[in-house]
């Protein structure tokens, strides 16, 4: 059986150049000057490149694309694609019946001479899959991890070729398209933390699922989307915000989850250093939360996300299994603003388990240094002991003797707080029990979840609820 290898970046560029149906333009501003160069160097570039534009000076860039607050941002990239693609169609209209047009654009900031910033950038492709058709857009954001600006520029040059090739030849396999972007670069050099594929040829694509694939396949440590279901760049959505984050499996969302949101929000907004007009709430899902038996079910993920979005919650998907890792990720975005982390009492007890920090040189003290930074506070929600009416809270939970001093330190320094205004009538609700009742079709679980959740479970037969989805029952199937 013949084995096939993946084309090199040079071969990808040459294949595009030799394809007579593909023709387009390049616009690169800031430090992103390398993508078009790869097509020129591969040979036969006249078959693909109609025009290149390199607006390095900000004044030149403003004269072409208009002024903006930031040069490395998504609105700037979209403006570039709008202007360049419109010009391409206007000037080359005679080729439209035989040509699949494209415009590639990027706006990049590499690491500076004094190494006081981090390299990142936006890249986008507007492209047709057949002549005389409406175009599609593929938009990505990347963080550049190389510590040398020349290497960062090289990585962008490779990434740009991979992006164009993938959109032209791998569009029928979105996950393969996604994974191919870091070919010949590697995850250690680049992180893709935003991906959006839209257009008439991709109406069937759910970009929330592709956001999950970014994290699941190791292209990013985290990805995010809003309550409207649109993907978001975490660094933009969380920038200089007071962040209140609640983790969980949310399978399903119960009234306990809602009470945790509401009671913690009340306490968070009462903090002296929290601006109530500058708060963002985030529901955090880890890969561990999403997996069952080591596997992640895509539809189950979307079901949970649909419910969270219907409750007006933003969703953050991460690879971080430990709370200190999540806080360490969020801290650069908050820029010193408050971060509140909401935990159930049993998860809070696990925070003191040294097992989870065995791979850290500094053990639990290193983890606590990251978790309990100057701007971080944990809010703890009580629970019943399973199968009893005994409440477990700050007053009666047990810790090993050698951890009691740490607990006292955290209490004395206002780093942890027991949530005071909780609904104790809900503490008998455990999500695992609710899920089991749903699967068995038992009565009574509806009272344990918000009304909108019960409605969605029954209409869509979510979480293995034994029924026929409403959409099918209406047509007699």
66 and 137 part of one domain? yes
Q: Please identify every stretch of the chain with a pLDDT value under 50, giving residue numbers as ranges.
A: 1-3, 472-477
Q: What is the torsion angle, in degrees rounded to the nearest 10, for the CA atoms of residue 196, residue 197, residue 203 and residue 205?
A: -70
Please, which residues have CB within 8 angstroms of residue 136's CB and are 6 or more apart in sequence?
126, 127, 128, 129, 167, 197, 198, 199, 200, 201, 202
pLDDT score at 389? 83
468 and 391 part of one domain? no
Whether residue 227 is contained in a domain is answered as: no
Please, which residues have CB within 8 angstroms of residue 342's CB and are 6 or more apart in sequence?
244, 245, 246, 247, 260, 261, 264, 378, 379, 381, 419
What domain range is 109 assigned to? 9-205
**How far is the C-alpha of 458 from the C-alpha of 465, rounded, in Å?**
7
17 and 41 part of one domain? yes
167 and 192 part of one domain? yes
134 and 244 part of one domain? no
Q: Render 172-234 in DSSP notation, one character per residue.
A: T-HHHHHHHTTTTT-TTTEEEEEEEEESGGGTT--HHHHHHHHHHTTS-SEEEE-TTS-EE-H
- Overall number of domains in the chain: 3
Whether residue 309 is contained in a domain is answered as: yes
The per-residue pLDDT of the chain, averaged, comes to: 92
Whether residue 113 is contained in a domain is answered as: yes
245 and 337 part of one domain? yes
Whether residue 216 is contained in a domain is answered as: no
Tell me the CATH number at 149: 3.90.950.20
Structure tokens at 199: 């257009």
Tell me the CATH number at 374: 3.40.50
pLDDT score at 2? 46
Whether residue 228 is contained in a domain is answered as: no
50 and 136 part of one domain? yes
151 and 244 part of one domain? no
pLDDT score at 158? 97
Q: In this structure, what DSSP letter does residue 108 have?
A: E
150 and 296 part of one domain? no
Whether residue 220 is contained in a domain is answered as: no
Give the number of other Cβ atoms within 10 Å of residue 149's Cβ. 17
pLDDT score at 56? 78
241 and 263 part of one domain? yes
- Do residues 137 and 199 touch, judged by C-beta distance below 8 A? yes
Whether residue 231 is contained in a domain is answered as: no
- Do residues 134 and 174 touch, judged by C-beta distance below 8 A? no
Which percentage of the chain shows pLDDT scores above 70? 96
φ/ψ (deg, to 5) at 16: -65, -45
pLDDT score at 295? 84
410 and 451 part of one domain? no
At residue 319, the 3 state secondary structure works out as: coil
- Do residues 229 and 208 touch, judged by C-beta distance below 8 A? yes
97 and 182 part of one domain? yes
% helix / strand / coil in the chain, to the nearest 5? 45, 20, 35
pLDDT score at 470? 59
Whether residue 139 is contained in a domain is answered as: yes
pTM value is 0.92
Distances (CA, A) of 49 to 29, 132, 161, 170, 302: 17, 19, 13, 21, 40
Give per-residue burial for 169-195: e unless 16+ CB within 10 Å, then b.
bbbeebeebbbbbbbbbeeebbbbbbb
Secondary structure, 3-state, 17-76: HCCCCEEEEEEEEECCCCHHHHHHHHCCHHHCEEEEEEECCHHHHHHHHCCCCCCCCHHH
């Amino acid at each position: 059986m013949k084995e096939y290898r993946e084309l090199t970046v040079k071969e990808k560029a040459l294949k595009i150049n030799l394809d007579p149906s593909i023709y387009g333009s390049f616009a690169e501003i800031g430090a992103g000057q390398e993508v078009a160069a790869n097509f020129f160097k591969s040979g036969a570039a006249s078959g693909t490149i109609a025009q290149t534009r390199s607006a390095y000076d900000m004044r030149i860039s403003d004269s072409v694309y208009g002024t903006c607050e930031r040069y490395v941002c998504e609105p700037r990239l979209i403006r570039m694609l709008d202007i360049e693609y419109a010009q391409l169609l206007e000037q080359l209209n005679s080729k439209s019946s035989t040509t699949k047009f494209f415009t590639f654009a990027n706006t990049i900031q590499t690491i500076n001479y004094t190494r006081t910033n981090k390299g990142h950038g936006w890249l986008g492709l507007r492209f047709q899959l057949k002549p005389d058709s409406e175009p599609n857009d593929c938009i990505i954001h990347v963080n550049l991890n190389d510590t040398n600006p020349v290497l960062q520029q090289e990585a962008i040059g490779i990434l740009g070729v991979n992006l164009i090739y993938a959109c032209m030849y791998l569009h029928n396999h979105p996950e393969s398209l996604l994974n191919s972007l870091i070919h010949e670069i590697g995850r250690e050099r680049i992180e893709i933390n935003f991906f959006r594929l839209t257009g008439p040829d991709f109406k069937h694509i759910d970009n929330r699922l592709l956001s999950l694939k970014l994290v699941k396949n190791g292209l990013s440590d985290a990805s995010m989307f809003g309550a409207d279901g649109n993907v978001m760049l975490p660094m933009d959505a969380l920038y200089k915000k007071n962040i209140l984050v609640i983790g969980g499996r949310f399978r399903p969302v119960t009234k306990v989850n809602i009470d945790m949101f509401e009671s913690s929000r009340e306490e968070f907004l009462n903090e002296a250093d929290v601006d109530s007009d500058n708060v963002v709430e985030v529901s955090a899902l880890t890969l561990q939360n999403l997996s069952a038996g080591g596997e992640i079910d895509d539809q189950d993920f979307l079901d949970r996300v649909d419910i969270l979005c219907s409750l007006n919650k933003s969703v953050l998907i991460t690879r971080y299994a430990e709370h200190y890792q999540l806080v360490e990720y969020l801290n650069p975005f908050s820029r010193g603003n408050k971060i509140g982390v909401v935990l159930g009492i049993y998860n809070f007890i696990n925070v003191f388990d040294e097992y989870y920090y065995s791979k850290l040189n500094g053990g639990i003290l290193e983890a606590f240094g990251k978790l309990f930074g100057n701007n971080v506070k944990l809010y703890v929600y009580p629970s019943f002991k399973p199968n009893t009416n005994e409440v477990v809270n700050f007053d009666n939970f047990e810790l090993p003797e050698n951890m009691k001093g740490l607990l006292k330190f955290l209490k004395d320094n206002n780093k942890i707080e027991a949530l005071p205004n909780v609904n104790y009538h809900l503490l008998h609700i455990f999500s695992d029990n609710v899920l089991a009742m749903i699967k068995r079709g038992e009565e009574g679980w509806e009272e344990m979840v918000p009304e909108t959740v019960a409605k969605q479970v029954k209409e869509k037969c979510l979480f293995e609820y034994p029924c026929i989805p409403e959409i099918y029952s209406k047509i007699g199937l």
